[in-house]
Amino acid sequence: MSYAKANNGKLSYASPGIGTSNHLYYEVFKDIAGIEPTHVAYKGGGPAMTDLMGGHVQALLISSTLAAPQVAAGKVKALAVTSDKRMAKIPNVPTFAEADFPDFKPQ
């Protein structure tokens, strides 16, 4: 998070579309974390994940269905999962609560 704060306004995050739950949850997370990345909307999670892996955006809040295989393969780094417990597919990834963001609880 220190990198994001030090580079406020220089980073971007992807969403699978304007107004999707992923987009809105990231907006809440930005407020909690005190960061200001630029939103880049995509037409779906697949294109957003592709651009994350390609380095065109620096962050993405996306479903575990899309994220877990890429994290497990080492293609992207997951900072946290939104579930209350760690995921069996990617057990080394902490929950948001474990990552010092206990107030971030997307439903």
Residue carrying structure tokens 């993405």: 60
Tell me if the pTM is above 0.85.
Answer: yes
Tens of pLDDT, residue by residue over 56-103, are 999 999 999 999 999 999 999 999 998 999 999 999 999 999 998 888
Look up the CATH architecture of domain 2-72: 3-Layer(aba) Sandwich (3.40)
Tokens of 48: 């957003």
pLDDT in tens, 65-77: 999 999 999 999 9
- The residue with tokens 């992207």 is 76
10: left (phi over 0), alpha (psi -120 to 50) or beta: alpha
The encoded tokens of residue 100 equal: 């010092």
CB crowding 74-90: b at 16 or more within 10 Å, else e: eebebebbbeeeebeeb
Domain locations along the chain: 2-72
